[in-house]
Amino acid sequence: MSEAIAVLSQKGGTGKTTMVRSLADVFERLGMDVLAVDADPQGNLSDYFDADPNSHPTLGDVLQGQARAADAVHGRVVPANLRLAEAELGLAGKIGREVTLRNALRDLRRSKDLILIDCPPTLGLMTVNALVAATHAILSTEAQYFSLQGMEQAMQVLDLARDSLNPELELLGVCLNIANMRTRHARQTLEALRERFGDKLFRTVIRQSIVYAESAERAIPILDYRPEKGADYLLLTGEILRRLGKQEMLERLDELSAEVVPARAGATTG
């Protein structure tokens, strides 16, 4: 069974979707067969993958029991749209409501090398489903006031998923995202995160840059659009590979880094 990583945060706009898209791209370039799952009715990840807005079936249909997950794979993504919100409401009163996504993805976990799940900006039933379906979780946070408080809420939901339905679930790490390290506030946030999360905090900080919005708009991965910024995601991938115990892939990552950002060669394993 492959790993499944859910990317979540307590609030909106912390760069979750961009992270899922960018990591999916890097892992693919490393030769993995990656599936991205859009668990957000906003459908941003689906857009970023340039999925046809009329794709059918989508994750909503799968969770409503009207389609198999394998049939809802369009290209490299299981897309979502507003039907997912409907499906979530429908699940609410049902027995097994928290394990629906896990059951739906079971076969794909066997056939794919890695599954990345993009959570919505709430800690509701969809995020719980993602955490129950996942082997690992990444918490994404922005350097904003109250973000630490939000992190605690996200941690509580993670603990809940682990204690009740998914004892194997592991916090892969916490990532400071969309950060402008020139500001004192961002540096203080990083320090506070380090104090709270210790080794679980990724050393890589995803720098704030307008090129992410531009690349999303054009549905082009950041490594194609602006490789020098995408280098942050190469570094993050290096940390993720180590934490997953996939050291054997680091060499390939270094080759990839040398290829796309020659100036940074050696940075991912160094």
Ligand X SMILES: Nc1ncnc2c1ncn2[C@@H]1O[C@H](COP(=O)(O)OP(=O)(O)OP(=O)(O)O)[C@@H](O)[C@H]1O
Sites of contact with Mg ion (CB under 5 A): 16-17, 44
- Crossing angle of helices 16-29/250-260, nearest 10°? 100
35 and 114 Cβ atoms separated by less than 8 Å: yes
**Partner interacting with residue 209 (select from Mg ion, ligand X, none; CB below 5-8 Å by kind):** ligand X
191 and 163 Cβ atoms separated by less than 8 Å: no
Cβ proximity to ligand X, 104 vs 216, nearer residue: 216
Residue 15 sits in the site that holds ligand X (CB under 6 A): yes
Q: For the CB of residue 62, give the shortest distance to Mg ion in the complex, in Å.
A: 19
Cβ proximity to ligand X, 44 vs 55, nearer residue: 44
The structure tokens listed for 91 are 């699940």
Instruction: Say how many CA atoms lie within 13 Å of 157 toward its Cβ.
Output: 24
The SS3 of residue 102 is helix
Site for ligand X in 87-126 (CB under 6 A): 121
The SS3 of residue 138 is strand
Cβ proximity to ligand X, 135 vs 177, nearer residue: 177
Site for ligand X in 43-62 (CB under 6 A): 44
Site string for ligand X, 207-236 (x = CB under 6 A): xxx--xx--x--------------------
Q: For the CB of residue 142, give the shortest distance to ligand X in the complex, in Å.
A: 8
Quote the CA–CA distance of 28 and 247 in Å, as a whole number.
16
Q: For the CB of residue 242, give the shortest distance to Mg ion in the complex, in Å.
A: 26
Cβ proximity to Mg ion, 41 vs 57, nearer residue: 41
Q: Rounded to 10 degrees, what is the CA torsion of 181, 258, 2, 54?
A: 80
Q: Rounded to 10 degrees, what is the CA torsion of 69, 73, 77, 81?
A: -70
**Partner interacting with residue 12 (select from Mg ion, ligand X, none; CB below 5-8 Å by kind):** ligand X
Q: For the CB of residue 14, give the shortest distance to ligand X in the complex, in Å.
A: 4
Cβ proximity to ligand X, 39 vs 63, nearer residue: 39
Helix, strand, coil percentages, rounded to 5, for the chain: 50, 15, 35
Of 123, 206, 234, 256, the one binding ligand X by CB under 6 A = 206
Which positions lie near ligand X, rule CB under 6 A? 9, 12-18, 40, 42, 44, 121, 178, 206-209, 212-213, 216
